[in-house]
A and B are shown apart, each in its own frame.
Chain A
Amino acid sequence: MFNELSLGAQTGADMYDIIIIGAGITGCFIAREMSRYQCKIAVVDAENDVANGATMANSAIVHAGYDPEEGSLKARFNVRGSRMYEEICRELGTEYIRTSAYVAACSAEEVEKLEELYQNAVRRGIPVAYVSTEEARKEEPALSDHVVKVMELPTTAIIYPWETATALMEEAVINGCDLFLANKVTSIIKDNGGYQVKTNRQMFVGKLVINAAGVYADQIYQMAAGKKIFTIKARKGEYYVLDRSDNPLVKRVIYPIPSASGKGVLAVPTTHGNVLLGPNSVFTDDKEGNDTTREGLDYVRNQLMKTLRVFPANKVIRSFAGLRASGEQHDFIIEESDVCEGFFNVACIESPGLASAPAIAEYVVNELILPKYPWSVKESFKRREPLLRVNKMTPEEQNELVRMNPAYGRIVCRCEQVTEAEIVEAIRRPVGATTVKGVKKRVRPGMGRCQGGFCEPLVVEILARELGITPQEVLLDSEKSLLLTGETKEVGGEQG
């Protein structure tokens, strides 16, 4: 079907059928879908872990699809994606909780807008109902007195995006996909029937390229096309995280009425009993500029006071910011390039990107790739073994585990009750953690109220042992994020 790739053969570069640039949620979904077929796939990402860009920092919601503009790709893929997630998470053995959501209107004007959203939902076949404010307040006592009308979207769900992305990539990898992290793409050259993708570390040659590079997808496309065809701007969203509680501030997602800049500032329960409060929406020129700001966090706090009665400042354990990949046309770009054959853009995946990702992958694979490049299905598709959820087991099951592996009896993270065995497992699995943050994303030590104050030295020790490196070589996250600067009495720092 293809010509031999001349330059690849000459340079000894790794040869692939498909190179996916970007190991965020979209890249992971596409990799896992394509790994069902008899093609050789490489996933390349500049970051030192999967799910480290927009997938790292977002609201973690599978929106029902009530608010994207009629006729948009966002509306189409969100509605479809929201219907796919539950089964996918069951297959993967990852968190999926259908929490439901309230959309809360606070003025006559907003009530009108709410009715439009209601009609949207009905038209799209999304379950929706108005609930009385009395009932809503009974269910969600944190709702403010400003709220005058409430619409419920019962199919709204939450997931644990890092776990979902990692699990997807894990299935891709056990089905033959190769993952290359810390590989920043520096050039893409169209070669005889394919592409040479050069990174800071090595060269890949692929017949097809899928550009799922998040905020950098415009630059990646420019490398291949030779000119800038679309532009992506980073749009920052800042959040507060509240401490875990058996009785969290909200049980459902609480949406305000959306505005031109997005869904607005939300209150979101998480799969592990925390609550996220955010985001704001601010364009930034720096595509790495995910710093939090006083202004941004103050804005979140002020906006929340519209829909919520209180801002529980004493429950805040962390704040963070993420960057959305915003395109000028306000919609996703999902198409094969018309100037570079075999180069597929999956770009501008801002909200509702997480909710849409499975449907985007389904579309890219079944409607864009396979009709033109008909790889046949592999005979078998291997499933991942879900992580054990030790703290959800019965005491008998827990004790059986400890008997077989005593490391299940050593709790390393007291806030989130994570055992040493779970951390070791997170490191040893395919797509295993190699950094402190990687461990935290997979099994949660450091996510709790002490923010790693007690467990970080222990996690560093376990990482060093498992990876066969010294504690000084252990990274927080990126390759430049060393934690320890030396051994005692050999610091060699400045004096005076």
Chain B
Amino acid sequence: MNEYDVIVIGGGSAGIAAAVECYKNGCEKVIILERDKELGGILLQCIHNGFGLHMFQEELSGPAYAQRWIEELGKYEIAYKVNTMVTHVNVDAHIAEDAAKAKSEADKIVEYVNQAEGYVRIRGKAVILAMGCRERTRGAIGIPGYRPSGIWSAGTAQRYLNMEGYMVGKRIFILGSGDIGLIMARRMTLEGARVLGVAELMPYSNGLSRNIKQCLEDFDIPLYLSHTVTKILGKDRVSGIELSEVDDNMQPIPGTEIYFEADTLLLSVGLIPENNLSEEAGVILHPKTGGAVVDEAKQTNIPGIFACGNVLHVHDLVDFVSKEGQEAGRNAARYLRGELKSEKGFVTKAGSGIGYVMPQKVNADNMEETVEFMFRVSQPCQNVSVSVYRGDTCIKKVNKRVLLPAEMEKVKLDKTLLQSAEGDLEIRIESRGVIG
């Protein structure tokens, strides 16, 4: 069985960055396994601009951003396989029992399949999970009605349009104001389709503000907040949709139905980290993020298995996906050098007004000079402060004018500041001026 230092599952933005970074940090045998026919992941179908502002201080298209990273990867002796589907990830329990042995003997077993080699098992000392996410479906949100053609998740329609060169419809309605939906509203309009509207269940949009402006407002596409699709019409092909207003509990209000004659319904109703392989391997998932529970090293509950990018938690910007990949890669290298310890630590908590905090725990001995915490607010808020507590002590307070659930927030704390108090770390939203 072939052995590797690090096996990276997924060759998208997180996986490439992770592979590069662990190689740079001394791991010699690194391999990326990618299911699609080329590296780059979902970026390849994102032909719009807006990628790379943080990473390269340039505004690039998705494929151009991916190309930068593929070229970077090409500078190093990093193996990769495309058209290769990973089918199982397991830990060899016999070896894993002894932590020191696990690092030197490659206790992770990854099974993949491709056309040239068939079903193959390889061993790795560390595994980096970088499988990205999938889109929430109609079935998961339970829109009643018929099951005709003409219903797609926005990302699937994007693939048809940008990769395969086909239009999925002429009169489009979009449910969900997630970024892919907004981007597709503009894209379909530019291709000559009529986008009748975008509906959002929540009273606020779930996409980036810049996308609301550039993709809807600039094209006079109406946004229906606090609305949802309550019926799909058409037995063969979508012939229309029924839209209803929802109340404060997000239940449709009878009598508010309006109808749109549409041949297509696109759904942009959320992304779900793709963690089937992780679960099988025994990785514990967080109920809120749908991704692994990790520490500041992006290490999961299984020593030597790391996670980064959208498989860990869904990001808004690819730049931060790459950055998270780099962190996971750097820490995988530290793991192999025996530098990651996990004796002492503290957990992090989402306090009032916060949806989740990532990482979910911090190992005191592993901390680098700064530790970055990512979080999302659970609802929009204005003129508040973000307060970070350890135990009862407020160690940091940042004032914010606007915070939106659609936009991931970060707070970076120095190691010394983190060590200045004891207890769990909690991030809270507080009204400004209130003393914690």
Interface residues of A (CB under 8 A from B): 241, 288, 290-294, 296-297, 316-320, 395, 398-399, 401-403, 406-411, 414-415, 417, 449-454, 456-457, 461, 471-472, 475-489, 491-496
Contact = CB atoms under 8 A, between A and B. Distances in A.
Contacts of A449: 134, 137
Interface residues of B, number: 55
A414 B156 contact: no
Interface in B147-181: 147-150, 152-153, 155-156, 159-161, 163-171
B166 A486 contact: yes
Given A316-B142, A409-B115, A484-B167, A450 B135 contact: yes
B193 A493 contact: yes
Contacts of A316: 139-140, 142
9 contacts: A288-B235, A403-B118, A409-B115, A450-B137, A453-B135, A453-B155, A471-B164, A485-B169, A491-B193
Contact of A411 (B87, B156, B166): B87
B236 interface: yes
Contact of B147 (A320, A402, A494): A320
Contacts of B170: 485, 491-494
A457 B156 contact: yes
Contacts of B152: 453, 456
Contacts of A492: 170, 192
Given A453-B135, A494-B171, A483 B193 contact: no
Nearest to B134: A450
Interface in B60-88: 83, 85, 87
A187 to B, nearest CB: 24
Contact of A488 (B155, B166, B171): B166
A319 B192 contact: no
Nearest to A403: B118
A483 B168 contact: yes
Nearest to A486: B167
A481 B119 CA distance: 37
B134 A491 contact: no
B123 interface: no
A487 B146 CA distance: 26
A411 B87 CA distance: 9
A453 B137 contact: yes
B159 A493 contact: no
B165 A488 contact: yes
Top 8 A-B pairs, shortest CB-CB distance: A318-B139, A476-B149, A402-B118, A493-B170, A480-B236, A406-B115, A399-B118, A409-B115
Given A407-B115, A453-B156, A494-B170, A481 B145 contact: no
B191 A491 contact: yes
B317 interface: no
Nearest to A417: B87
A301 B374 CA distance: 37
Interface string B24-63: 0000000000010000000000000000000000000000
A183 B36 CA distance: 40
A291 B144 contact: yes
A328 B85 CA distance: 53
A484 B252 CA distance: 31
B263 interface: yes
B148 A481 contact: yes
B142 A297 contact: yes
Contacts of A414: 35, 85
A408 B140 CA distance: 30
Contact of B85 (A411, A471, A483, A496): A411
Contact of A317 (B115, B140, B147): B140
A494 B196 CA distance: 11
B421 interface: no
A193 to B, nearest CB: 39
Given A317-B140, A406-B115, A411-B85, A294 B146 contact: no
Contact of A291 (B85, B145, B156): B145
Contacts of A483: 149-150, 168
B281 to A, nearest CB: 13
Given A481-B148, A482-B149, A319 B167 contact: no
Contacts of B155: 453
B432 interface: no
A460 B37 CA distance: 17
B113 interface: yes
A297 B143 CA distance: 10
Contacts of A401: 118
A319 B147 CA distance: 9
- Residue in A408, A414, A475, A477 whose Cβ sees the most chain B Cβ within 10 Å: A414
Residue with the highest number of chain A CB atoms closer than 10 Å, among B87, B139, B194: B139
A294 B137 contact: no
Given A406-B116, A450-B134, A481 B35 contact: no
Contacts of A415: 276
Given A485-B263, A488-B161, A292 B115 contact: no
A407 B406 CA distance: 41
Interface string B101-144: 00000000000011111110100000000000011011110101
Contacts of B137: 317-318, 449-451, 453
A47 to B, nearest CB: 12
B230 interface: yes
A54 to B, nearest CB: 16
B43 to A, nearest CB: 16
Nearest to A470: B166
A293 B85 CA distance: 38
A393 to B, nearest CB: 9
Contact of B167 (A288, A454, A491): A491
Which residue of A417, A457, A485 has the most chain B CB atoms within 10 A of its CB atom?
A485
B286 interface: no
Nearest to B162: A488
B120 to A, nearest CB: 9
B116 A409 contact: yes
A183 to B, nearest CB: 17
